[in-house]
Structure 1
């Protein structure tokens, strides 16, 4: 009975969020069990181009380091903000959400080549947080019960926290930069005088992922609800 409940809850997670978080957890588990090593996963342009190890273009986004606080912290934020985007502003637009993944991943891969980053999963998480925060500017956040601020400051607070943990802020800055490029091209530039929509989801993605009708019984997680955790609680102003 408990297994069926867990399975039902798992299948209620929207497709993209379920697929990505599951891939991240399974990749980390495989490393912990020594079935594979991080050396087989990291981003290396030479190995990709010369030895055709193209899987590294994907696997470098799936490994977040050994199981520990940093891994758990990243998984929670990845799951929450990925799901809130998919069930919020990307509700019924799975193809557009997948296209954001592809666009963000491509841009990070290009930038990552110049800053010599070998794993880009954390930067990708920051990108998702950045896009969510800019689309929900009136949400008040509470971080560990110490800081109160509005949602657009969340990526910068996370970068400061990452610095306190001794991590490189280059990863966070990359995620913020890519998130800003996507947000500007998708949400800002099209609404400017003389602006237009540069990012258009390819038709084949819409054919693959978008369904003509939605499940009327589907109960989404509100996008403006960032919390459930002491470091990420918040409420919408005026709500």
Structure 2
């Protein structure tokens, strides 16, 4: 019964959040079981472009380190804020959500080249948190019962917490920067005088991920007419 309940809960999670979270957990499990090693996953431009190990463009976003506090902390925030975005401002707009993933991933990869970063999953999580926080500016939050603040301060609180744990804040700053670029181009600039929407989701993504809209002029045949046709 418990297994059935967990399975039902899993399939109720929105598709993009479900796929990304599951991929991160499975990747970490594979490393723990020594089926693969982090050396096969990390971002390495030389191996990508010279030896065509293109999977590294994706796998560096899926590994958050060995099982431990840092891993579970990242998974909690990834799952929570990815799901709230998908069920909130991206509800019914799966293609737009996937496009945000692609936009953020490409931008982080370009910055990663300059900063020599090996794993970008934590930066991606911070990007999701940043976009969600800016779209919920008046929401009051509590961090482990210690701090009370409004949502837009959450990415900075997470960065300070990461610093207290002895981690480099470069990854967090990258996530905040990419999140702000997306938020500005998507939510701010189009509403400015003379501004326009620059981030346009490709039609092929809409074709794949979004259900086709019903024709407002479509009128189904009456039940009586359908019965006559069957006769």
TM-score (norm 2): 0.91
More helix by share: 2
* Map of 2:32 onto structure 1: 32
* Map of 1:237 onto structure 2: none
Deviations 1:156-186 (A, max 9, x none): 0000000000100000000000000000000
Q: Does 1:101 align with 2:86?
A: no
Q: How many residues were matched structurally?
A: 214
Equivalent runs, 1:43-82 vs 2, <5 Å: 43-82=43-82
* Map of 1:2 onto structure 2: 2
* Map of 2:162 onto structure 1: 162
Cα distance, 1:147 vs structure 2: 0.7
Equivalent runs, 1:109-188 vs 2, <5 Å: 109-188=109-188
**Greater C-alpha radius of gyration:** 2
Matched residue SS, 1:148? strand
Give me the whole-angstrom Cα distance separating, in 1, the residues matched to 2:126 and 2:179: 8
Cα distance, 1:199 vs structure 2: 0.3
Task: Name stretches of at least 5 consecutive residues in structure 2 with no aligned partner.
Answer: 214-231
CA RMSD of aligned residues (A): 1.0
Deviations 1:95-133 (A, max 9, x none): 000000000000000001101100000000000000000
Which one has more relative contact order, counting CA pairs under 8 Å at least 6 apart? 1
Q: Which runs of 4+ in 1 moved over 2 A?
A: none
Matched residue SS, 2:201? coil
Cα distance, 1:146 vs structure 2: 1.0
* Map of 1:14 onto structure 2: 14
Cα distance, 1:212 vs structure 2: 3.7
